[in-house]
A = this chain, B = another copy of it.
Amino acid sequence: MKQPTICPKFEKAISLLSQRWTALVIYQLLSGPQRFNEIQSSIGISGKVLSDRLKDLESQGVIKREVIPDTPVIIEYSLTEKGQSMEPIIRAIENWSQVWYKEETPSSDTP
């Protein structure tokens, strides 16, 4: 028995953002257009899932895929206006995380 009374637009946005990696991909592209391998190595996602996500985000109009006929061909992903307009969401998350997560000592320099 499902009777979610939640606004369908909001639900769509939530289901987009609560897919794993989606927010990180968008975050990454906020710093400018990037290529497949750049995104992959900077956020540590598997090629398979990144490929899925990029297709998905492209079909939703959040990012665009551009083929640059260099040799060999370069494929560049960037945010559309729709994607760019998600910046406030990402910044809100970033801001919250700075307030609520305390510094750790992840460095194992001194054993």
Contact = CB atoms under 8 A, between A and B. Distances in A.
Interface of A: 1-14, 17-24, 27, 41-44, 82, 85-86, 88-89, 92-101, 104, 106
Given A19-B18, A20-B18, A23-B17, A89 B86 contact: no
Nearest to A95: B88
Contact of A97 (B3, B12, B27, B44): B12
Contacts of A13: 93-94, 96-97, 100-101
A17 B94 CA distance: 12
A43 B11 CA distance: 10
23 contacts: A1-B41, A2-B44, A4-B43, A6-B24, A7-B97, A8-B106, A9-B97, A9-B101, A10-B93, A12-B101, A13-B94, A13-B96, A13-B101, A14-B27, A14-B93, A17-B17, A18-B19, A18-B22, A85-B96, A88-B92, A89-B89, A89-B92, A89-B96
